[in-house]
Structure 1
Amino acid sequence: MQSLRTTTGAALVSLAIGLSPLAAAAQETVELNMATPWAGGHWLEIGAKKYAEIVDQMTDGRVKINVFPAGALGPALKVTESVQMGIADMGHAWGGYDWSVDRTSAMFAGWPGGPNPEEYMMWLYNGNGLTLWKEWRDDVFDVVAIPCGVTETEIFMHAHKAVRTVEDLQGLKLRTSSAWAEIAPKLGVSTVILPGSEVFSALERQVVDAIEWGGPGGNMQEGFDKIAPYMMMPGVHSRAAVHDCIYNKAAWERIPEKDQGLLEMAGKLAMLESYLGYAKMDIAAYEAMKKDSPAEMVQVDDSLVKAVGEASREWAVEQSGDNEWFKRVYEDQAAFLDSISGLAEFRFAPGAR
């Protein structure tokens, strides 16, 4: 399937009336079909569609991105594969869905030992994160990658029992994904992998004791706080994650070099837009839940946060033992986070007053 096409009608008309070929070429439009894993909601609207909108504006309409919901261009959880194969020209991707191919995806998909939203952006643009990301996507998946969105810190879990300490985790049956699915068992948790369509019913019917999903905005939309009596915070399992817009190489090569540069800039602007968008949505949702939610809001003990951090570092060292890409990215990310630790000494955290 070759869905990338160049519209040449305007150029032909221009030639017919005597304009130069260069002037005609300036009118050409490259059209790209984007696969996503999102059926709807804020990841589709604030994420994929926002990037497409920015690209359209920055290229004066020369690059048009048609955004398709989950399943329209290949399986929802195999966006990267659809882009590799050329089923889609490009995709709005989350590394966690490439977990089975390479555990390095956790370094970008969000993991308990990873950066928060601000730190992710600093690592990408002030450190080596962007270069490593592009090289990793190219080497392992054979696609061109542009980071194009940073997500919020998630709610730790919605559960049928209160969780405050490591002892409360013992035997807990938790729906989760990505790195936390392997780290949580080190703390006594029994993890279950479920597709998104089954998460609500599994929690409601108590097939699982607890679930993790997203930030306050997304979770309120899903209604998890209405079916489970406890909501735990903060999201130590996923402080943030990053989405990337990935391109099939053949499709990328047909985009003029100048517009390729603009697509890169669009990704950086989409990072800012998503950061601000999620923050606005989550603050409003959190205030609404504090006022109206039947769920009890529980702050976990510092001892649990510390235990999660220790288990995460242990897991990362294990992964580094036989995965050179993981080792390279993890060590760089950890070193960068250490290098900016001074920020906590002279700056206030967002919302701290």
Structure 2
Amino acid sequence: MNKTPFQITRRKLLSTTTAAMTTTLATPGILRAQAVNTLTMSVWVPLQGDVAQNLFYPWAEGIEEITDGRVKIDILPSPMGPPPAHLELLRSGQLDVGFSIHGYSQGEFARAKIGQFSFLGDAYGASQAFSKVYGQLLRGSEEHTGITLLGLFQHGPGMLMLRDKVVRTAEDFQGLRVRTSGGYISGLMSDLGATNVPMSPTDARQALIDGTIDGVCFPFEGAKAFNIVDQITYVSEIPSGYYNATWFQGMSNAAAARLPAEDLALIRSYSNEMIPVLAAKAFDYADYIGKEQLIAAGIEIETAPQSVINAVKDVAANYESAWSAEMAASGFEGERALAFTRRLTSGG
């Protein structure tokens, strides 16, 4: 199975996408000579991993290029805090640029649940569909209070990865202790009979070693990114995903206020356009690499039998109906938005 590594095309991607952006950005005629503004960015996924190398670093390079060097992104050598803390780090102005997962903040991002449901398809389609449907049709920026939203994206379809356990019937979920990221997947696992254990992905390896969890809900890229390949013995795969996770990238309002208006407009337009594209490519490639590592390690990857898929569908339908009703009460057509999302992806 051959696949061209995405990472080696990073510079080429930057040159072509930057050129393409000239047709979509209303660039000011001649910007005044200005001092360089350096913005700090905290990245809590591995810096040498596929996602950081193919999403955050190219984005940072693109920002410097489109602003002609007036804005630089300084990616810190270590994250400023655990993943769930990054939203408040942005809101407080302690951090200039960061990203996080909507599911870490219970109750704040009701509309974003549209991108967390089961059977949404691969990373490439899902990330771009989420940005379009949630970001535009559901006016997702309204939910990101206290920060300047830069972009929206998703990872690839989430799988169930287990140690010394298997799931071949709906009954096999009973009693499983599973790490989840919060939001929809936590409810899904609980309703299927598993014990939901919310925790940061960076804590998953030690929890597997200690035996405090039986498995994790991760996309394939997570197995490599969070170094759990040697701790997993079995993967239950639903090709279009048990779930997904929705992400946002933002800038603190304090940092936004420091930038000249022309540069801030360039950054927001470029980021809104390119973050979903970069994320789609980065996660799709990272999922491929993660799955290949699991296969090379001899780990059993089994497509979920129909009885398991049906159990997931039954639970998922209840969540989708409840969400659609919640959206209707807020003036949005949730059911149509979800159907549109699935038409845009390989989730069917």
TM-score between the two structures when normalised by the length of structure 1 = 0.75
1:326-345 aligned within 5 A: 328=330, 332-339=333-340
Q: Retained in 1: the 8 A contact 2:64–2:71?
A: yes
Q: Report the equivalent of 1:65.
A: 73
Deviation at 1:316, TM superposition (A): 4.9
Match of 2:214 in 1: 209
CA displacement at 1:340 relative to structure 2:
6.0
The answer to whether the aligner puts 1:79 opposite 2:86 as a matched pair is: yes
Q: CA contact under 8 A between 1:55 and 1:64: conserved in structure 2?
A: yes
CA distance in 2, matches of 1:338, 1:166: 26
Could you tell me whether the CA contact under 8 Å between 1:46 and 1:277 is conserved in 2?
Answer: yes
Once the two structures are superposed, residues 104-160 of structure 1 have per-residue CA deviations (whole angstroms, 9 ceiling, x without a partner) of 2752773436565414423433x453362111113xxx2111215432223332332
Deviations 1:43-70 (A, max 9, x none): 4333333321221122111111112255
Q: For 1:97 and 1:340, locate their aligned partners in 2 and report how far apart those are by CA, in whole Å.
A: 22
1:161 shift after superposition: 1.4
Contact 2:159 2:219 in 1 (8 A): yes
Which of the residues 177, 195, 199 maps onto 1:173? 177
Inter-CA distance 120–328: structure 2 relative to 1 (3 Å threshold): farther
For 1:78, what is the secondary structure of its paired residue?
helix
Distance (whole Å) between structure 2 residues aligned to residue 185 and residue 262 of structure 1: 44
Q: Is the 8 A contact 2:55 2:282 kept in 1?
A: no
In structure 1, what is the equivalent of residue 139 of structure 2?
A: 132
> Offset at 1:299?
0.9
1:286 deviation in Å? Answer: 2.4
- 1:104 corresponds to 2:145: no
- AA partner of residue 53 (structure 2): E
Q: Answer 1 or 2: higher relative contact order, Cα 8 Å, separation at least 6.
A: 2
Matching residue within 26, 49, 52 for 2:57: 49
TM-superposed deviation, 1:30: 2.1
Structure 1, unmatched stretches of 5+, are 1-21
Give the aligned partner of residue 157 of structure 1.
161
Identity %: 20
CA contact under 8 A between 2:173 and 2:193: conserved in structure 1? yes
TM-score under structure 2 length normalisation:
0.76
Q: How many residues align?
A: 313
Alignment-derived partner of residue 231 in structure 1 = 235
Kept after mapping to 2: 8 A contact 1:95/1:106: yes
**Secondary structure of 1:26 counterpart:** coil
**CA shift in 2, pair 1:340/1:278, >3 Å:** closer
Give the alignment partner of residue 277 of structure 1, picking from 269, 278, 282: 282
The answer for unaligned runs of 5 or more in structure 2 is: 1-28
Query: 1:51 touches 1:266 (CA, 8 Å); kept in 2?
Result: no
